[in-house]
Chains A and B, each alone.
Chain A
């Protein structure tokens, strides 16, 4: 037996041969072939092994529902597993490999599973791998994991590029068959913005393999005429090679376009795949109907192919699936395949018709066996005969391929993806799409209108309605005339009785009729349970062929209607989509945007080592020659600031300009401490709570004029605080006259800290910044020598005499350079986040390490700051609730190791001395810890039960991760300059 290329015909370019490889064999196809059609033309019937029993399997379909012909295309990092050969466009150099077999497709060890099949029924795993319990993790799971999965994902980095795109249209037409073409044409002529998408590389759908004539021309010529007109319309976009895989909220559709999957060497400037999000005012589902397989004994033998697919291979690709074909059908479609194959000179061994009678005419001389069924097939790795039973008599009919046709299932996946369930049609013996409203309308064969004329008419008519609905005046249209119309009638046949071999329902997952019966008997008869119990409809094809048959079988076995069984749930994706396409360009440095401070270049020039801080890169420390570790650099920076001066980039802190006659009142309600009477020219530390009374954020806010404040936030919550303020202004207090906007990016801001900070700054600032003229917490506009307007704030995070100088961002680097230049004589150094952190821990200042969301102001020692006088502020009501005022709450304290050479790490827990190390005995935790160069030993900030009453007491710092226990003394959290003499100096 052989499959072979017909001498003529088909939409392939016989003048353009293409070389390709399958499992190392060099083969040839033509331009216009799919991998499957080219394999068939080379008589490669065996293309894969089934999942469970490793049975030899061949090509079954000519489209995206293919369960068997899954191959890996390409090698190494470039390989694409589980590619359906039936939709893979052939190109020169294509290198495909079969899957799920070892050592080769022909001789496969895994086939031994077939012999064990009596023990491998549905639910086998659930029943077998239960005892002993200890075996699960060590024995069963590894074995099952090794056997599981179709194809192999490679772990190498995908070298190809992907991207994502948005598109917008009035009408998205999904499918370019007769229905879709007429809909796109009608809507296009009416002026709608139309997108016509089809998964195939050639537009035309079923028309490409149709022998009926349309408008007195071949179906293919008619298609070309329509496509030519569509191409001429500027408002129509045609998207071949594009699978619309999902329907989402707001009528947004997900689609994946295979831009360069059909070329051996992709262009670097184009992605290989492009993920589209198509926002469509309306969509028309013109996805056609899928031919239903027949469930009969031995129906999985390579060479058993869907009748419609066999017709497509012959008519569109010029390939005969065999020299002598037997056709098993329950309707007219089988006769149509017989006629087309006979016209191509293929012998028809017999037509086996499950119906007792029918008006269909078989080709001349072809034997029709009515009321008969196929109960087994002969052959090993390819079919060589069909065992036919009629009225108790069996006969074997020699053939080298079997075409099967079991009726039609409309392709309605997208319409059911948002929760609506498919509806059983007793007339059509199948499930139809539910009414899902105007957004998505189903037409043509997808709506159960199977005739060609019916599809052409339905597509045009539905487009007219949509156009009118969107306010377009439509041009009149005439339905194209069809000669040689299709008769789609069939009689449902869920199971062909008397099977002498396994009758498969799901080819991909090796589910046969007995498995469905077993699931039902064992109480898993609900269609969703049956799917999970048997695996019917799982994996890459998601039951495109098997789903409706499983429903029909479950119904028939219980004597109920398929309407009462229903379908399993349809979810995106219609067909699998590569993760690369879903990620698009959001990988590597494009995975998240990087924010750069206006002082980034300055920091780089000064030797900064950067650290990720949210989206920002901030200097962690500034390495100098001879320094080998971050600690050496950090210790030097800290000492130098305590003795001389340092400059730190604080541009990343959020800055919000607040205006209006009610700005002060607005801030007074946002912060828990008072702001109403903050004088102009002054800064104040502010503590913002959440409604639940916990600290949300902190920062300083300065009053620049009576109705203008500038607020600062932490770097982490700059955006969060802005949103919070918008919410409060718009929802809580719309009556307040206040306006605000972010100015974070406008200013380059630098902290200049240390006893010599004033000396350095005074050299640059025209204004008098002496302690008398510009005392602690002064804030306002200053002018730099040369005339540059700047803002200066006398605030300190380090505990030193310190200022923050803000200049327009573009000038930041130049000003920072000037500060360093002026400061050189005073020993200034650049310092980073690490030193900033050490300085503030030494001073007992808090960050989000302390304000981690479960800390009240009182916990952190700010209890007295919370205004009792203010009538209201965010967090006031819940601050007094039970538990938030309890005496044994964890309070912030300082810790120092009793042995000065011992280390404390943040995250460690606190225990009473002598207590068993256990979280049951937990007394608190360390929030921040560092080595203090000023004191010469480790220090820490910690939250400890009733901590403020326990200064002088000892606790055990228990760090289970590091396996360390250190005895520490509880102390005041302000380690350096508790009297604030430095910052007021």
Chain B
């Protein structure tokens, strides 16, 4: 008997199905993202860096020396994995993390003040520039933080911590009436 399995997001029971009223500071949660761990083979760090830079629609997050997360909202996990394998053949290893990581997008005028309640890193735009990413602690939870705009950040967290991080972000954003919802398109 053939079966179809329906995927669940860890915040399925915590976020409304329909988008609600958006506050100026908003936490947007894509329902799904394609995320692949990329690890350069020995001695191939520079060529993988160059290859990833030319990967077009894919966003690259630094996670350690010679290691990145490749993130895409437009591709499926399979297509991202396949495209990267073609692009970086024989220079890197890949592990699909699309189900293992959850993406949070935080945006709004007070986003730095919200993040300062959990993250010790200096997020001044002159220091943590747009396009920068880093593994940091947000409160007790390890995340990958990326600046995607002047007042926009993406937090990527291990799936099992997603609810705990979401609860923390709500407390951090309470002062600014932070709203939250699933992405309309994602």
Q: Is the pair B168, A814 in contact by a Cβ cutoff of 8 Å?
A: no
CB atoms of A592 and B140 under 8 A apart: yes
Known: A746-B95, A815-B5. A809 touches B100 (CB 8 A): yes
In the complex, which of the residues B3, B95, B175, B177 contacts A743, with contact meaning CB atoms closer than 8 Å?
Answer: B95
- Residues in A whose Cβ lies below 8 Å from that of B10: 596, 598
A269 contacts B140, C-beta separation under 8 Å: no
Shortest Cβ gap from B49 to chain A (Å):
15
Smallest distance from the beta carbon of B129 to chain A beta carbons, Å?
Answer: 15
Q: Write the nearest CB–CB distance from A553 to chain B, whole angstroms.
A: 45
- A346 adjacent to chain B (CB < 8 Å): no
CA–CA, A279 and B161, complex, Å: 28
Residue of B nearest to A164 (CB): B117
- B147 in contact (CB, < 8 A): no
CB distance from A831 to the nearest CB of B (A): 21
Chain A contacts of B39 at CB under 8 A?
Answer: 659, 739-741
Chain B contacts for A747, CB-based, 8 A = 99-100
Q: Kindly state whether residue A810 has any CB partner on chain B within 8 Å.
A: yes
A145 interfacial contact with B, CB 8 Å = no
B3 near A659: Cβ-Cβ < 8 Å? no
| Complex contacts, A593 vs chain B, CB 8 Å | 139-141, 161, 164-165, 168
Give the most central of B32, B116, B177: most A CB within 10 Å.
B116
Return A880 CB to nearest CB of chain B, in Å.
Answer: 34
Interface string of B103-121 (1 = CB under 8 A from A): 0000000000000110111
Contact of B117 among A163, A763, A812 (CB under 8 A): A163
B18, CB-defined interface residue at 8 Å: no
Q: Is B8 an interface residue (CB 8 A)?
A: yes
Q: Are B160 and A585 touching (Cβ within 8 A)?
A: no
A788 at the interface (CB under 8 A from B): yes
Task: Determine the chain B residues whose CB is within 8 A of the CB of A740 once the complex forms.
Answer: 39
Is A739 touching B97 in the complex (CB atoms < 8 A)? no
- CB within 8 Å for A597 and B160 given contacts A279-B122, A659-B93: yes
Cβ 8 A contact of A741, one of B7, B37, B99, B122: B37
Residues of chain A within 8 A of B168, CB atoms compared: 585, 590, 593
- State the Cβ distance, A562 to closest chain B Cβ, in Å: 41
With A764-B3, A814-B8 in contact, do A589 and B167 touch (Cβ < 8 Å)? yes
Query: Within the assembled complex, what's the spacing in Å between the Cα atoms of A530 and B7?
Result: 70
Binds B, one of A66-74, A165-173, A488-496: A165-173
- From DSSP, what is the main secondary structure of chain B's interface residues? loop
A743 touches B100 (CB 8 A): yes
Cβ of B163 < 8 Å from any Cβ of A?
Answer: yes
Query: Residue A601 at the B interface, CB < 8 A?
Result: yes
CB atoms of B3 and A270 under 8 A apart: no
Q: Is B184 an interface residue (CB 8 A)?
A: no
- Complex contact B174–A269 (CB within 8 A): yes
Q: Which of A812-859 contact B (CB under 8 A)?
A: 812-815, 818
Complex contact A595–B164 (CB within 8 A): yes
Within 8 A of A (CB), among B40-73: 40-42, 66-67
Instruction: Answer whether residue A277 sits at the interface, using C-beta atoms and an 8 A cutoff.
Output: yes
Contacts of A764 in B (CB 8 A): 3
User: Do residues A745 and B3 form an inter-chain contact, with CB atoms below 8 A?
Assistant: no
Within the complex, what minimum Cβ distance (angstroms) separates B134 from chain A?
14
B175 touches A270 (CB 8 A): yes
Who on chain A is nearest to B100 by CB? A746
B69 nearest CB neighbor, chain A only: A741
Residues of B within 8 A of A788 (CB): 3, 5
Query: Contacts A739-B93, A810-B8, A810-B9: A785 and B171 contacting too (C-beta < 8 A)?
Result: no
User: Across the interface, which residues of B come within 8 angstroms of A606, CB to CB?
Assistant: none
A474 to chain B, nearest CB (A): 19
Q: Looking at the assembled complex, report how far the CB atom of A813 sits from the nearest CB atom of chain B, in whole angstroms.
A: 6
Query: Is B141's CB under 8 angstroms from A743's CB?
Result: no
CA separation between A589 and B140, bound complex, in Å? 12
Shortest beta-carbon distance, A159 to chain B, in Å? 16
**Which residues on B sit within 8 Å (CB–CB) of A601?**
8, 13
CB distance from B5 to the nearest CB of A (A): 4
Once the chains are docked, how many angstroms separate the CA of A785 from the CA of B5?
10
Q: Are A586 and B140 in contact (CB under 8 A)?
A: yes
Residue of B nearest to A193 (CB): B124
| Proximity string of chain B (6-44) to chain A, C-beta cutoff 8 Å, 1 when within and 0 when not | 111110010000000000000000001000010111100
Instruction: Return chain B residues, CB-CB under 8 Å to A597.
Output: 160
A500, B93: Cα distance in complex, Å: 87
**Interfacial chain A residues near B139, Cβ < 8 Å:** 585-586, 590, 593
Tell whether, in the assembled complex, residue B99 and residue A746 are in contact, meaning their CB atoms are under 8 Å apart: yes
Q: How far is the CA of A808 from the CA of B32 in the complex (A)?
A: 13
A822 CB, min distance to chain B CBs, angstroms: 9
B158 at the interface (CB under 8 A from A): yes
Contacts of A785 in B (CB 8 A): 1-3
Q: Is A814 in contact with B98, judged by CB distance below 8 angstroms?
A: no
Is A808's CB under 8 angstroms from B99's CB? yes
How far, in Å, is B85 (CB) from chain A's closest CB?
Answer: 13
Q: How far is the CA of A746 from the CA of B160 in the complex (A)?
A: 9
Question: B residues within 8 A CB of A813?
Answer: 8
Contact A743 B41 (CB under 8 A): no
Say whether, besides A737-B41, A745-B158, A745-B160, A784 and B167 are in contact (CB < 8 Å).
Answer: no
Which chain A residues numbered 731 to 749 have a C-beta less than 8 Å away from chain B? 737, 739-741, 743-747
A737, B124: Cβ atoms under 8 Å?
Answer: no
Residues of chain B with a CB closer than 8 A to A744's CB: 100, 158, 160
> A775 contacts the other chain (Cβ, under 8 Å)?
no
What would be 26 A-B contacts, judged by CB atoms less than 8 Å apart? A166-B116, A168-B124, A269-B177, A590-B139, A590-B171, A592-B140, A593-B168, A598-B10, A598-B99, A616-B160, A652-B160, A660-B41, A737-B42, A739-B39, A739-B66, A741-B37, A743-B100, A744-B100, A745-B99, A746-B97, A746-B99, A785-B3, A786-B2, A787-B2, A809-B100, A812-B8
The 4 closest A-B pairs by CB, nearest first: A746-B100, A593-B164, A810-B7, A745-B100
- Not counting A590-B168, A764-B3, a sample of 20 additional A-B residue pairs whose C-beta atoms are within 8 angstroms of each other reads A164-B117, A166-B119, A168-B124, A269-B174, A585-B117, A590-B139, A590-B171, A593-B161, A593-B168, A598-B159, A616-B160, A743-B95, A784-B3, A785-B1, A808-B96, A809-B99, A810-B7, A810-B32, A815-B5, A818-B3
Which A residues contact B (CB, under 8 angstroms)? Answer: 163-168, 193, 269-270, 277, 279, 585-586, 589-590, 592-598, 601, 616, 652, 657, 659-660, 708, 737, 739-741, 743-747, 763-764, 784-788, 807-815, 818
